Amino acid sequence: MKGAITLDEINAASQAEFVAALADIYEHSPWVAERAAAQRPFLTLAQLKRALVVAVREAGEPAQLALLRAHPALAERAGVTPLTAASQDEQARAGLAHCTSEEFASLQSLNARYLQRFGWPFILAVRGPRASGLSRREILDTFARRLDQPQELEFAECLRQVHRIAEIRLDERLRFEPVLGRQVWDWAQALAAHSDAAPGTLTVTYLTDAHRACARQLAHWMRECGFDEVGEDALGNVVGLYRGSDPAARRLLTGSHYDTVRNGGRFDGRLGILVPMACVRALHASGRRLPFDLELIGFAEEEGQRYKATFLASSALGGTFDARWLDQRDAQGVSMREAMQAAGLREEDIPAIRRDPARYLGFVEIHIEQGPVLDELDLPLGAVSSINGSVRYLCEVVGVASHAGTTPMDRRRDAAVAAAEIALYVEERAKADRGSVGTLGMLQVPDGSINVVPGRCRFSLDLRAPDDAQRDALARDVLQRIGAICAHRGVRCSVEETLRAAAAPSDAGWQRRWEEAIARLGLPVHRMPSGAGHDAMKLHELMPQAMLFVRGGNAGISHNPLETVTDDDAHLSALAFLELLEGLAGECAAPTRT
Ligand SMILES: [Zn+2]
């Protein structure tokens, strides 16, 4: 392994020295460093990584394929491709040198099938998202899963794994440890030990034992980090306050949720609690006080899993907690009121959760993207421009159930075919907009039979767009077309609206602060809407807000155990938050800026 090098040395090196120093960061491919050299000087390590990524992105497919083929197969012994020292070290750390003979045989067979299917070796950053090494089980599971992917998706995933391998090598070459990111990662891992479900499955729904354990754990960590006040409110929100130097100044509010969907991921919601915690820990350790209070809320409920009361926790801040929710019962018949009493929470204290917006500067939320966009762009962070507005309907098409053998094609009133035509139109219409999405989620033919033309078809319809006008135009066109399709086919359709949520465009000032923070890290600023709803939507009704998105691995999959974030990306999100805080501190010192 080569010796350590600093960013200053990298910037000051001659072209030849630069290439020599970084030639082996990309396996057997010094051309990547050669092409990135002209981009110097690099402001940050993140910017250097980005330049290398861009060199590969712009190299074209033949060069990218050659880069993949320059990698050894997993657990390859004296093979055709010589193992570099770095590769050997990484594979040994993942325990691949100690495979049992069955595991070794299984890897060899997967390698052969993979190579035959795709034409390049299976590439996986075996050091993993925490750089501490994946287990052999994780490696084999990932291998088996990716073997079934479509060709172009797998090609892109391999390139991302190549970049992750390079990132870990660069971190070590520059003696850089993403300490804040690793702290966040380890907390997320430890928090995931509390689950309503069997070990290995993460489910934390409102006020279960696991949920209460998470609240206690978060409060404990907040105290350890140096928050001056830590408490729990009447709904189970965990609230930490890191006091600023000026008690009269307005506060900054941040946070996200700690409940999960069933069989969810470790970072959804939790990242937005743990990253600010890590930042306060660092600020407190260095004795830094901001000129304003920083208030962090771990919201108790966002996912609407146990009770149909999504966002109940953040609703209470704006005083829109609906008291009727307390009478709702879960699948076991336990009412929310009973669950609260069992948890020792006092219903009469709910009104006190309400916040006075005049006391606050605004709300910022850090959240995993939960989509593929940043991962595809190879960007660790994105500035959210808007949270999409949505409208949902439950629909039922009623036609005539008739004999599948005896009803001629021109005499049918097929409810399912009408629904299919509607689905195709929703796809076409949503595609025509910038940023709109439309989905027929639940599709059912009640009491359907193999030899019966469907007489009924039920479906759910979910339409979203970056602003309310665009959403309403989309909904109007879709509903109009549903009417036309049904009239033409001689069927009826009932449409029931079940949810309407206003879009929450980011506040321009707060979005700009995130963008400036991203730019100061040396990263390109990418603006994007959020397709998913977040606590920030509720806070939007109360104060200015803007969100920061963090790239999720595995093509951004979320609400799934495969959801993942790297230690480096979590670290960058913490640095961005610190930049935002310091930028804001600067604004407080120079109050002329608006
Ligand atoms: Zn979430």
Residue 122's pLDDT is what? 96
CATH 3.30.70.360: does it fit domain 389-502? Answer: yes
Residue 79's pLDDT is what? 43
Report residue 329 as tokens: 């019962």
Residue 165's pLDDT is what? 97
Distance, CA 216 to ligand 1 centroid (Å)?
20
Paired strand residues for 366: 548
Residue 97's pLDDT is what? 72
What is each CA distance from 75 to 102, 126, 161, in whole angstroms? 13, 11, 16
Distance, CA 499 to ligand 1 centroid (Å)?
18
Distance, CA 151 to ligand 1 centroid (Å)?
30
Residue 593's pLDDT is what? 47
Distance, CA 173 to ligand 1 centroid (Å)?
35
Distance, CA 212 to ligand 1 centroid (Å)?
18
Distance, CA 42 to ligand 1 centroid (Å)?
34
Distance, CA 537 to ligand 1 centroid (Å)?
11
Residue 88's pLDDT is what? 76
CATH classification number, 180-385+505-589, choose in 3.30.460.80, 3.40.630.10, 2.130.10.10, 1.10.10.10: 3.40.630.10
Distance, CA 59 to ligand 1 centroid (Å)?
36
Residues 6+ apart with CB under 8 A from 565: 129, 185, 267, 271, 368, 550, 551, 552, 553
Residue 51's pLDDT is what? 98
Distance, CA 585 to ligand 1 centroid (Å)?
28
Residue 594's pLDDT is what? 47
What is each CA distance from 109 to 75, 101, 147, 184, 309, in whole angstroms? 11, 12, 12, 37, 49
Which residue in 333, 367, 291 sits closest to 536, CA to CA?
Answer: 367
Distance, CA 532 to ligand 1 centroid (Å)?
8
Distance, CA 48 to ligand 1 centroid (Å)?
31
Other C-beta atoms within 10 Å of 73: how many? Answer: 21
Distance, CA 259 to ligand 1 centroid (Å)?
9
Residue 81's pLDDT is what? 53
Cα separation, 188 vs 570, whole angstroms? 11
Distance, CA 254 to ligand 1 centroid (Å)?
14
Q: Residue 249 in 3-state DSSP?
A: coil
Per-domain residue ranges of the chain: 7-173, 180-385+505-589, 389-502
Q: Is the pTM of this model over 0.85?
A: yes
For residues 476 and 466, the answer to whether their CB atoms sit within 8 Å is no
Distance, CA 386 to ligand 1 centroid (Å)?
15
Residue 75's pLDDT is what? 76
Q: What is the mean pLDDT of each run of 10 residues along the chain (594 residues)?
A: 85 96 94 96 98 98 97 68 72 75 89 96 95 91 94 97 97 97 98 94 97 98 98 98 96 98 95 98 98 98 89 93 94 96 96 97 98 97 96 96 95 97 98 95 93 97 95 98 97 93 95 98 97 93 97 92 96 98 92 52
Residues 6+ apart with CB under 8 A from 292: 244, 246, 249, 250, 251, 252, 361, 584, 585, 588
Topology at the third CATH level for domain 7-173: UraD-like (1.10.3330)
